[in-house]
Amino acid sequence: MKALDLLVFTAGVVAATLASAQGTDVRPHLVFRVIPMQGAFSNEHTVTPYRLYDRLIVTVMDPVTCGQRPLDAAVSIKGNTLFLSYALTDSSGGSRSCTLVSEFEVMDAPNRDLEVSFAGGTEPYVIAKMRKCPGYKPSGDDIWECMVPSKN
């Protein structure tokens, strides 16, 4: 009987730990890709997030000096904000503008409304909001299964 009591106690501790961990910041898994493009497309940052179940795909168009490359892509979540960032290699005195196109694939995103903030290099964060997919009818309580970029 003592082993059963210990097992029940251990299960309770694990359940309590998992319940309290849900309220803390989460570190989801990140896969980062650079999409090869030539030339300048825009002088504006574009952050476009999509969500399907627990996976977020965020495409970023970042105006940079030609030849700059991203380093150390990172993801973190604080509250209801998903922060994406990378450092940039030195511009090496270049003057021509190019657009760096990249994709952040974030797995294990928590089930809650998330605002996406991106910064490349030392620039300020660019914010993108999401909304529920139009016409989407979730089969359960997980209303975050399908999200698309919000206009505002």
Looking at the chain, the whole-number percentage of residues with pLDDT higher than 70 is 79
Q: 143 exposed, middle or buried (CB, 10 Å; 0-12, 13-18, 19+)?
A: middle
Distance of alpha carbon 109 from alpha carbon 114, whole angstroms: 9
For residue 1, pLDDT beyond 50: no
For residue 25, pLDDT beyond 80: no
Average pLDDT value for residue range 20-32: 65
Q: Which residue has the higher pLDDT, 70 or 4?
A: 70
Name the nearest CA neighbour of 56 among 104, 112, 88: 104
Q: Which residue has the higher pLDDT, 144 or 149?
A: 149
Looking at the chain, the whole-number percentage of residues with pLDDT higher than 90 is 40
pLDDT at position 14 is 31
Across the chain, mean pLDDT equals 79
pLDDT at position 7 is 31
Where are the chain's structural domains?
25-149
pLDDT at position 13 is 33
Q: Are 127 and 137 within 8 A, CB to CB?
A: no
For residue 88, pLDDT beyond 70: yes
- Letter string b/e over residues 60-86, b meaning 16 or more CB atoms within 10 A of that residue's CB: bbbbbbbebebeebebebeeeebebbb
Hunting for tokens 């505002």 — which residue is that?
A: 152
Does the model's pTM come out above 0.85? Answer: no
